[in-house]
Amino acid sequence: MKIAIIGSGHIGGTLGQLWATKGHEVMFGSRDPQSDKLQKLLQRAGPNARAASVRDAIAFGEVILLAVPGTEIERVLAEAGDLGNKILINSTILFDGRSASAEVIRLSGSARVVRAFHTVTWEVLANPQYGPVNATIFMNGDDFEAKQTVARLCQDIGLDPIDAGDSSTSTQIETAVGTFWQILSPQFGRDYALRVLRREA
């Protein structure tokens, strides 16, 4: 699959590297594709990864991962232009009381938005296995097929995807996981994860 990564920080960089090593074609979109930071990231990601402008990456990707700071959401989506009917994975976080889910949906036009990868740290993404189980990723979105695609991308890199409902429940998931974070992170730090256990039918 062709995946555009908009944002080359910890989340975007980690996911891009992992997908590239699993055989997906990855293009990092950046204002400075030739930067030393991005070139080092490409070396770690291997031959399936390259870098280009944000617009070129958007044109390339069948799936787009938005992994930029919350303050950059509006600027980046304006720069990206029309996303068409592509799948847009929203992993962004806002710290000003607004919903990052609602903001990205508002700004992304006809894109099929799936909320994912925002409830774990990059350390968990890089190593999601905890003994015999792996970390759960919660997904929200209004397009079932788009969520199925994102679920497969989660499974490709060793994560356990859970469909947590449509976009109207995104804020509830963020609030719930944020509460767990406030309670548990002082004890466990950043490298802990939640896992949903379910019985087989």
Mean pLDDT (the chain) is: 94
Residue 47 CB-half CA count within 13 A: 1
| pTM for the whole structure | 0.95
Residue 8 has pLDDT above 80, yes or no: yes
3-class secondary structure, 136: strand
CATH topology for 2-188?
Answer: Rossmann fold (3.40.50)
How many whole angstroms separate alpha carbon 159 and alpha carbon 161? 6
158-193 tens-digit pLDDT: 999 999 999 999 989 988 988 999 999 999 999 999
